[in-house]
């Protein structure tokens, strides 16, 4: 029971992924005292296992390649994919600041990016930038370095339990479990942290919380895999609801169409599908031997298409595509996630596809590439795309995995958490996957990190200075 504060601080940031660390850095920059809480025994949350791709519009890297893009076009892409359920003012902020946040990542944090601009399904043009190492850890590492430079650090094994309010319903502190152990509920001790300024909730999504996610979408039982770490659960989100944070769009849960049943979690296969098969190859239903969807459609359209087939589909591509994409696929081959074949017939036999049907499908698709028009699904034929005809050929089984939870607490453009009556909850800010409304019904690839950094910074500044 609460008697007195064990410690007092200006700002507490809960969570140490992209959003939490961006908030912590900006809060520190204002000169206030900051504590960053992380429930696990290492910082980085689920962010650290992402690909690290950032979407940004109107960048120098695009201009260099002659790619015409704008914040307005990115805004429209996000709303279209989101089925117009997105909160427009939040999308406006993310897209307007997307170029600036990429620059901040490069110039301020010192993150190094690969010399490439990728396109993912649902984006009108290539606008995705991937850090060296193709991992979110490249960004997290630099954020942590920046934090340490300032004298800050992440307090690991610190589990946020609940908010403390005074008799006038004012948010005054937190109950936190110190020396928390995820596998041992008895471990650790409770401490009370008093807050002088604000709290930033940056606790991530609930993709691994089977109870919570399947209440929202009953298809997503424990039988569906997730790309998330097991600790991506909803407990902090529920605490926010208890103090009247408005839940928004919780039932919009994104599946990653690049999942493969041949490995657990996010895995290496996801990159093979997303960067090689989807832009340059095809996805076929092994039963019919036919394509089933525009392979550059957004994640919702693609995942629903594969789920509707009812069994894993086969992603097919060739050596030229692998060379064009420029990825090392050996780790996928070594782990048996991607299979290599001398001929399309051999591939067909391996996956139980009719060779004759697959031949027709590939020939048709190759003619679409040559004519620059996909008559079946309207796929955007990329300039560098070539017919599927260069052996060896590659195949991967695809089956969607829970990837991102679009819903969460409502925020405004100042990253203030909004209550049931559409008023900001004083002292409470949020950023990242714990918030809802930015992506609507469907998040476009690599827009999450942009959003985490934009709203993380905003939340940190406002929590420290409001």
Binding site for a copy of itself (CB under 8 A): 84-88, 211-212, 215-219, 234, 238, 241-242, 244, 246-252, 407, 410, 418, 420-422, 437
Report, in Å, the least distance between residue 327 CB and a copy of itself. Answer: 35
**Using CA atoms, how far apart are residues 50 and 204, in angstroms rounded to an integer?**
13
299 catalytically annotated:
yes
**Using CA atoms, how far apart are residues 306 and 51, in angstroms rounded to an integer?**
23
Collapse the DSSP code of 284 into the 3-class scheme (helix H, G, I; strand E, B; otherwise coil) and give the result: strand
Task: Give the H or E element holding residue 68.
Answer: none
Which C-beta is closer to a copy of itself: that of 62 or that of 412? Answer: 412
Beta strands in 294-336 (DSSP E): 313-318
Beta-carbon contacts of 11 under 8 Å, excluding residues fewer than 6 positions away, are 27, 32, 33, 34, 35, 195, 197, 198, 199, 200, 460, 463, 464
Task: Convert 307-323 to b/e letters by CB count within 10 Å (16 or more is b).
Answer: eebeebbbbbbbbbbbe
Which C-beta is closer to a copy of itself: that of 247 or that of 391? Answer: 247
Report, in Å, the least distance between residue 242 CB and a copy of itself. Answer: 7
Nearest to 314 by CA among 397, 388, 400, 394: 397
CB atoms within 10 A of CB 413: 13
Residue of 213, 299, 397, 457 with catalytic role? 299
β-strand partners of 425: none
Report, in Å, the least distance between residue 464 CB and a copy of itself. Answer: 27
**Using CA atoms, how far apart are residues 56 and 68, in angstroms rounded to an integer?**
12
**Using CA atoms, how far apart are residues 405 and 205, in angstroms rounded to an integer?**
6
Q: Which residue matches tokens 């007195």?
A: 4
Which DSSP state fits 219?
T
Quick check: 246 and 422 in contact, CB under 8 A?
yes
**Using CA atoms, how far apart are residues 235 and 232, in angstroms rounded to an integer?**
9
Report, in Å, the least distance between residue 84 CB and a copy of itself. Answer: 6
CB atoms within 10 A of CB 229: 19
Collapse the DSSP code of 113 into the 3-class scheme (helix H, G, I; strand E, B; otherwise coil) and give the result: strand
**Using CA atoms, how far apart are residues 293 and 284, in angstroms rounded to an integer?**
9
Quick check: 132 and 138 in contact, CB under 8 A?
yes
Catalytic positions, written as ranges: 299
């Amino acid at each position: 029971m609460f008697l007195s504060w064990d410690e007092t601080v200006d700002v507490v940031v809960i969570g140490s992924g992209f959003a939490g660390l961006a908030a912590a850095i900006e809060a520190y920059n204002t000169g206030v005292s900051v504590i960053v809480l992380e429930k696990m025994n290492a910082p980085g949350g689920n962010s650290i296992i992402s690909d690290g791709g950032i979407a940004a519009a109107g960048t120098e890297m695009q201009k260099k390649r002659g790619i015409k893009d704008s914040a307005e076009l990115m805004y429209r892409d996000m709303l279209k994919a989101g089925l117009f359920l997105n909160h427009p003012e939040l999308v406006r902020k993310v897209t307007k600041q997307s170029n600036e946040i990429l620059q901040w990542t490069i110039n301020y944090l010192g993150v190094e990016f690969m010399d490439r601009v990728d396109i993912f399904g649902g984006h009108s043009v290539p606008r995705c930038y991937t850090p060296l190492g193709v991992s979110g850890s490249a960004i997290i590492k630099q954020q942590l370095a920046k934090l340490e430079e300032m004298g800050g650090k992440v307090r690991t094994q610190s589990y946020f339990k609940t908010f403390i309010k005074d008799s006038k319903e004012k948010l005054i502190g937190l109950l936190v479990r110190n020396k928390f152990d995820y596998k041992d509920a008895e471990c650790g001790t409770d401490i009370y942290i008093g807050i002088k300024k604000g709290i930033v909730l940056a606790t991530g999504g609930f993709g691994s919380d089977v109870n919570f996610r399947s209440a929202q979408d009953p298809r997503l039982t424990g039988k569906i895999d997730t790309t998330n770490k097991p600790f991506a659960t909803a407990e902090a989100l529920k605490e926010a609801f208890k103090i009247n944070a408005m839940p928004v769009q919780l039932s919009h849960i994104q599946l990653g169409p690049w999942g493969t049943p041949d490995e657990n979690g996010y895995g290496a296969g996801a990159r093979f599908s997303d960067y090689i098969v989807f832009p340059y190859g095809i996805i076929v239903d092994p039963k019919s031997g036919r394509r089933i969807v525009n392979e550059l459609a957004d994640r919702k359209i693609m995942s629903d298409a594969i789920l509707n087939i009812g069994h894993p589909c086969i992603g097919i591509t060739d050596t030229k595509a692998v060379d064009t994409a420029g990825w090392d696929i050996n780790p996928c081959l070594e782990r048996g996630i991607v299979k290599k074949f001398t001929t399309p017939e051999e591939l067909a036999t391996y996956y139980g596809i009719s060779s004759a049907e697959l031949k027709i499908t590939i020939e048709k698709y190759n003619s679409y590439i040559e004519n620059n028009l996909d008559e079946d699904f309207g796929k955007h034929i990329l300039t560098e795309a070539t017919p599927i005809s260069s052996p060896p050929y590659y195949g991967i089984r695809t089956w969607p995995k829970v990837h991102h939870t679009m819903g969460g607490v409502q925020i405004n453009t100042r990253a203030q958490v909004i209550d049931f009556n559409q008023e900001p909850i004083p002292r409470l800010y949020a950023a990242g996957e714990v918030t809802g409304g930015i992506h609507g019904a469907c998040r476009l690839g690599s827009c999450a990190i942009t959003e985490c950094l934009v709203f993380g910074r905003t939340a940190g500044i406002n929590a420290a200075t409001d």
